[in-house]
Structure 1
Amino acid sequence: MTTTVGTTTDPTTPVAQGSALWPAQARASQVFGRQLVISRAEGSFIETEDGRRLFDGTAGLWHANIGHSRPELARAAYEQMMNLETYHTFARFTNDRAAELAEMLAEVSPIPDPKLILNSGGSDAIDVACKLARRHWQREGRESKQIILSREFAYHGLHAYGTSIAGLEFNREGYGTESLVPETARVSFNDPEQVRRAVAEIGAENIAAIVTEPVQGTGGVNPPTEGYLETIQELCRENDILLILDEVITGFGRLGTMFATERYGLQPDLVTFAKGVTSGYAPLGGIFVSRRIWEPFFADTDDAPIFRHGSTYAGHATAAAVAVEHLKILRDEKLVDRVRELEPTFVKDLEDLARNNPEVTEVRYAGLLGGVTLREGVAVEKVCDRMIDKGFISRPLRGNTLQVSPPFIVTEQELTDFLAAMSEAITEEAAA
């Protein structure tokens, strides 16, 4: 039902009378009555309440890396809750599982000798990282360094800072200002010289940090163009700008290395993480902080500065226990190595798809992360609907692109079947 300006939606319409749960990232009227209620899952497959079994070709929202319903993680959560569900980590207090997890993460850190800030997810981590970047420069007495640069098409969650640095403009629209946090600006996602010009125009003395995904996810699965990340890092070093890598998607093996920093040879100041630290079994994220940033805050003096971060569930004991068990599974089952071993087959299948289906204009990939872009006029949303009918899940991304990011436990045959179903769905939709 369409209403006129100044009125509210009729509360008796079917949409308004639907579920009390507000759907995320959707126009309610377009999903009401069509939502898939997921009731169980196992391995690389999920099942709906009405009995459909679907291959999870997106690993949920890029996170179900070790597959669904692992009993080891259920036991870890149960045993921890029976002992201590959680306790906060403010001031003199901490809990043993948060401390254990921090030490384990420090051992695999993409940053040498880090400190860890734990929280509840990727959006939290971005908020804290951007605040810490500004806090660093204020502590240094360089008050003008406040602006956070990010890339066009970037996605960094939807908290206030993540919304403000979003390179997907629709995520910043509708709040009354161009950016919720005004000291932000976007730069080119693939042209390092444009970034260099932007730094010169804004003035390095005004820029606190550049934040970037090593491989853009929601923006369309965009691996870095040759020399892009290296130039960004060089610009940061030359101009005293902090480099923040958002590894919420790429961290913990998605690219065939534990972190993308290894694959691309980077040395960031801050690294955010989330999804892959627990494979989604518990909401947990955080930040690796380099010595350059953390050391002054740990000075053994009465006037050492304080960084006012923290939330009730930062270092949640049960989430930490799940993460510890999850990291053991990654290690013991050599799943990061498995991603590296699967990548050649993954790349070949994607390139075969592009070569054999004229509706595909481009495929992009790194590790087990892929994007399939369709020609204008073939709607990815409808292709995704057709894929569900065939028993497979993909997801529409920016640029008329289909997401491909299966769990690490996927078999070569499952990958082949998934992309074959995608090709069929694309062809059918193009002919409709």
Structure 2
Amino acid sequence: MSFWHPFADMAAVSQRELVIERGEGVWVFDADENRYFDATASLWYANLGHGRADIADAIDAQVRKLAAYHTFGDFTNGPANAVGERLAKLAPVDDAKVFLTSGGGDSIEVAAKLARRHFINAGHPERVHLISRTNGYHGTHGFGTSLGGIEPNVTNWGPLVPQTSVVPYDSLEALEAEINSVGPDKVAAFFCEPVIGAGGVLLPPDGYIQGVADLCAEHGILLVIDSVICAFGRLGTWFGVERWEDVRPDMITFAKGVTSGYLPLGGVVVSNKIADPYYTQGGLMFRHGATYAGHPAACAAALAVLDIYEAEDLIPRGRELEGPLADGLATLADHPAVGEIRAGLGFLAAIGLKPEADAAAPARLVAGAREKGVLVRAVIGGVAMSPPLISEQEHIDLLVEGLRAGLDKV
């Protein structure tokens, strides 16, 4: 086996892979034609499900016209311009600009660099410190790894990006204490997922997101909302953070659902206070960019996906389905293996196992659910799920049935 899988124990994987052959709606099929409910929407992104011919047709048409061309300097293309305009209008960011990337990890690098450079441009080069949260996941690039709060992901690399720190994910008091410890005049930005995804689907305490926004405003700290998972209907709004109506981030990172995964695309929605110098001061350049930023075919996929979200009224689905998902999972709360059900804010959830469960228990749960035709994802201490937004009650029922079978194995 030559293909080295990401985040994989290759000694085990090399003995047995699950080859996904095709997808159709909420289902995927392996090489033996076994059918599975894709209860993780692949890796949090297949919001529209699989096999949409309308998206494939849009990609095909663009590839035949102009498959790819860079957007460095003054070069651009129609789909890139259209995606930027459309997302800028949808985002809860003041007078927004959109910097496109190849994915979520790329977007975090952009946001971190822009945050530090913003204060350098403003004559405050000492403001470079970046704060994030325990259990947070911000990709695996340089800044993203350094900002990560999942311990196995951030250790054993040697020195990471300096002047970063992590605070408990659920404590405003801890964030305020860290700001004061570092010095408010040295902090550039705070990175925050509305709902922590890969770190275990951790919902924010009541008042937390608004409190974070208030703290950042009080100290002049940039608020970066990482909506790579939470955007495009997952929380029932375009960018997830609109669930807290008064919060206006300085930047929002996005990816995944913007194309429903049909092609890789990400980006950062940037407020005017950060972007304006680059647009108005001649000679000022943000010397950063991905080769495939503004990739025409990827942007054509995004435009088709945005059309579908609107035409089929799918963005509110995350909010409409959060109750049924939470209700279904509540029927598992008394299972002897279950320690905690985390659900109720958006169409994503997690089951935390009892603390005495061994380290291999999540994998047994995943395997048991898979035997029942349901794909869920192991996280530290449990499993997570984030089904496609096109799911119905029958699919939630199947998910619960599969989870019950997996829990019985635990």
Identity %: 41
TM-score (normalised: structure 2): 0.96
Select the residue among 181, 184, 187 that pairs with 1:207: 187
Name the counterpart of 1:94: 76
Select the residue among 244, 252, 257 that pairs with 2:237: 257
Select the residue among 64, 79, 82 that pairs with 2:46: 64
> Is 1:392 matched up with 2:374?
yes
Matches within 5 A, 1:359-374: 359-365=337-343, 366-374=345-353
Query: Between Structure 1 and Structure 2, whose CA radius of gyration is higher?
Result: 1
Give the deviation of 1:424 after TM superposition: 2.2
Give the deviation of 1:108 after TM superposition: 1.1
Select the residue among 198, 203, 215 that pairs with 1:223: 203
Select the residue among 249, 254, 257 that pairs with 1:276: 257
Partner SS state of residue 332, structure 2:
helix
Paired with 2:130 and 2:74, the residues of 1 have a C-alpha distance of 32
Name the counterpart of 1:419: 400
Give the deviation of 1:107 after TM superposition: 2.1
Name the counterpart of 2:298: 319
Give the deviation of 1:228 after TM superposition: 1.7
Paired with 1:255 and 1:176, the residues of 2 have a C-alpha distance of 36
Cα shift readout 1:38-74 (whole Å, capped 9, x = no counterpart):
1101101111112211110100000000000100111
Native 8 Å contact 1:55 1:392 kept in 2: yes
Give the deviation of 1:202 after TM superposition: 0.8
Give the deviation of 1:311 after TM superposition: 2.0
Matches within 5 A, 1:24-103: 24-103=6-85
TM-score (normalised: structure 1): 0.92
Name the counterpart of 1:9: none
Cα shift readout 1:371-405 (whole Å, capped 9, x = no counterpart):
1111132601111011111111011112x121121
Select the residue among 363, 369, 374 that pairs with 1:381: 363
Partner SS state of residue 349, structure 2:
strand
Native 8 Å contact 1:86 1:95 kept in 2: no
Native 8 Å contact 1:152 1:189 kept in 2: yes
Give the deviation of 1:346 after TM superposition: 1.3
Give the deviation of 1:241 after TM superposition: 0.7
Shift in alpha-carbon separation, 1:73–1:63, aligned structure 2, 3 A: same
> Is 1:410 matched up with 2:388?
no
Give the deviation of 1:252 after TM superposition: 0.7
Aligned AA for 2:336?
A: P
Cα shift readout 1:255-304 (whole Å, capped 9, x = no counterpart):
111222210232110000000100100100000000111111111x435x
Would you identify which runs of 4 or more consecutive aligned residues in structure 1 move more than 4 Å?
Answer: none
Partner SS state of residue 67, structure 2:
coil
Name the counterpart of 2:272: 291
Paired with 1:50 and 1:281, the residues of 2 have a C-alpha distance of 23
Cα shift readout 1:13-47 (whole Å, capped 9, x = no counterpart):
xxxxxx11111112211222221011101101111
Partner SS state of residue 371, structure 1:
strand
Name the counterpart of 1:15: none
Paired with 1:60 and 1:110, the residues of 2 have a C-alpha distance of 27
Paired with 1:302 and 1:332, the residues of 2 have a C-alpha distance of 41
Give the deviation of 1:195 after TM superposition: 1.0
Gaps of 5+ in 2: none
Paired with 1:129 and 1:302, the residues of 2 have a C-alpha distance of 22
> Is 1:348 matched up with 2:362?
no
Native 8 Å contact 2:374 2:398 kept in 1: no
Give the deviation of 1:169 after TM superposition: 1.6
Root-mean-square deviation (Å): 1.2
Give the deviation of 1:224 after TM superposition: 0.5
